[in-house]
Structure 1
Amino acid sequence: MTDNINPSHYKDGSFECIELSRLLSSDWGQAVQYCFRWQHKNGVEDLKKALWFINDAITHNVPFFAACCKRNADILEAQAIRLLSILQAENWADLGRFWLELERGTAWTVRLALAEKINEIENEGK
């Protein structure tokens, strides 16, 4: 039976996508969800949607990590970095550099890594 609410493309891998996206701010969490599933759902269109959210985050100075009380911020950030390092080590969804740059926390290099991946995929298709 197919689960349209929480499909397998969010549960495949070492952990569920929601475990990471709930630690991130809205724009960055959306970008992660699109990147997590792109190979199983809408292909490069999902990567372009992720790039849209990244551009929006950069334009509006949206931080990577979800706003929460200062006391728990370091713990949540460490959890997110641990999950990102797993994705990077596994080259999850063939986006190893994207996960690495997100782990390092530099918005412009995250954007560049994803834009270059989109260009690579589109050039392979031509």
Structure 2
Amino acid sequence: MSDSTNPDYYRQGPFECIELTRILSFDWGNAVKYCFRWQGRNGTEDLAKAVWYVKDAILHGVPLTTNEWSKAEAVALLTALAAADWGDLRDVWITMAKDTPQHVLTLLVRKIAEIENGRTKEES
């Protein structure tokens, strides 16, 4: 049965997206949400939204999690996403788990370019 509030693309990973986003700060939770669903919803548009939230987190010094007790859980879940190569974003998940925001941004921008360049080559 279809659930418009919590669609399949949020529930089909190694765990439900909400399990991770609820323990992250607002910016990082949104970045994860858009990365989690990009293949099932809006493609590179969702990755671009993730980039926006990562940039905002960097600009304002927003940490991955809002408290230390949830950081270990977040790292474990991000590692699970990396192990599953969820959304073809293994390096993004690993880098997010290492808490290196600038590198996460770089990887997302590269991923968008890779997808768009691949699409352009196929269309030519």
TM-score by length of 2: 0.94
Partner of 2:65: 65
d(CA) in 2 for partners of 1:86 and 1:31?
A: 17
The 3-state SS of whatever aligns with 1:114 is helix
Kindly provide the CA deviation profile for residues 66-110 of structure 1, in whole angstroms up to 9, marking residues without a partner as x. 2xxxxxx33311110000000011110000010010010011011
Partner of 1:104: 98
Partner of 1:91: 85
1:116 is aligned to 2:115: no
For residue 64 of structure 2, what is the amino acid of its counterpart?
F
Kindly provide the CA deviation profile for residues 7-64 of structure 1, in whole angstroms up to 9, marking residues without a partner as x. 1110002110010011110000000000000000000000000000001111111111
CA contact (8 A) 2:34 2:47 kept: yes
| Structure 2: stretches of 5+ with no match in the other structure | none
Partner of 1:25: 25
Q: Which shows bigger deviation, 38-47 or 57-66?
A: 57-66
TM-score by length of 1: 0.92
The 3-state SS of whatever aligns with 1:125 is helix
Partner of 1:79: 73
For residue 47 of structure 1, what is the amino acid of its counterpart?
L
Q: How many residues align?
A: 120
For residue 74 of structure 2, what is the amino acid of its counterpart?
A
Partner of 2:36: 36
